Amino acid sequence: MKYLDDLAVGERFELGSHTFQANEIKAFAKRFDPQLFHIDEAAAERSHFGALCASGWHTASVWMRLMIEFRKRLAEAERLRGEKSAGTGPAPGFKNLKWLKPVYVGDTITYSSEVIGMRFSNSRPGWGLLTTRGSGVNQRGETVLSFEGTTFLERRPGAV
């Protein structure tokens, strides 16, 4: 992972894509969001969605999994180059979570993260706060998920 000092507002990271299948939509929903339009095709057809669709929490969870996998790939590439990866700290939270379009069976969502702000921490020397906009876009180019998240990120050693 890059150090906070090495990032710039506007920098964008493609995290990967995921195609949602009926069995995983139902399994996630049965466990975490058991609304009928997520677990029963017939009920979903009668709902305002018109067909089985993924829970918004499911779409956000896939973003998180892909973000962690992205960070692991970056860290491995840095390790192979003999570089140290920046540490990441806790995430104090997120805001403006929006599920803008339903995600249906067979939809492929491409996820990304864009740097929208950063600041150095006064209370944690050597660290800063990175704010990003996470998003997911379907195969038709429609944004289905958007949110802003903030996380602690280590500064480059010796940075002032």
Asked if residue 142 lies in contact with residue 57, where contact means CB atoms within 8 angstroms, the answer is: no
| Torsion angles phi and psi, residue 91, rounded to 5 | -105, 115
Q: What count of residues does the chain have?
A: 160
Q: How confident is the model at residue 159 (pLDDT cuts 50, 70, 90)?
A: confident
- Which tokens is 19 given? 């195609």
- Which tokens is 143 given? 């944004």
Give the number of other CB atoms < 10 A from CB of residue 146: 15
Q: Strands (DSSP E) along the chain, which ranges?
A: 12-19, 93-99, 108-120, 127-137, 143-154
Q: How confident is the model at residue 160 (pLDDT cuts 50, 70, 90)?
A: low
Tens digit of each residue's pLDDT (9 = 90 or more) over 2-30: 999 999 999 999 999 999 999 999 999 99
Tens digit of each residue's pLDDT (9 = 90 or more) over 36-75: 999 999 999 999 999 999 999 999 999 999 999 999 999 9
Give the global pTM.
0.94
Which candidate, 28, 20, 149, places its Cα nearest to that of 97? 149
Residue 3: which region, alpha, beta or left (left: phi > 0; alpha: psi -120 to 50)? Answer: beta
